[in-house]
Amino acid sequence: MKKEQNFECPDPTTDVKVNTANRKVAINDYAYGPADPRKENKEFWQEKADIWGTDIDDVYNMRCGNCRVFDVTPWIQDCIGPVASQDDDYFAVAGVEIGYCRIHEFKCASTRTCDTWVAGGPMNSEIETEDIEEARERGDL
Ligand code: SF4
């Protein structure tokens, strides 16, 4: 694993206002959710199943936590900081991993998902941040 040269923390990881604005876009335009993943949220998951042309059992496993653009590299975790300082109460729930969405550019929770989930994640020791950025610039994501 390597950290790209000249790495700087993305603004949303350190600026709550920017993060909140980007998260609103993810919610409104890409149906990021559900609001409380601890609940069944059958309607939410059925909508995702319809979008992806699969059944609800499959989409339960298609979450930020295993999305290819869910960045949980050590350097992003350093940017994000302690879970207790997050701007979303849900982040404090045990077992929820916080990462950085490289597509929608906000801090997201491993137990949620959105309409643009990408297979093959998370981005950690095996997928480098720069690979994602390059794919994004090419329009592959
Ligand atoms: S693109 Fe992936 S990491 Fe970003 S919000 Fe959607 S499911 Fe989560």
Any residues with Cβ below 6 Å from ligand 1, and which? 26, 32, 64, 67, 69-70, 101, 103-104, 108, 113-114, 116-118
Q: Which of ligand 1's atoms lies nearest the C-alpha of 64?
A: 8
108-136 residue pLDDT tens: 999 999 999 999 889 886 555 556 666 66
Token pair of 123, please? 């981005």
Q: Which neighbouring-strand residues pair with 98?
A: 109
Instruction: Name every residue whose Cβ is closer than 8 Å to that of residue 96 and which is 6 or more positions away in sequence.
Output: 37, 90, 109, 110, 111
More confident residue, 128 or 35: 35
pTM of the model: 0.84
- Edge-first strand listing for the sheet containing 98-101: 70-71, 98-101, 106-109
**Which of the residue ranges 13-27, 38-52, 80-94 would you say has the lowest mean pLDDT?**
80-94
Q: Which of ligand 1's atoms lies nearest the C-alpha of 30?
A: 6
Token pair of 140, please? 């592959």
CA distance 33 to 123: 20
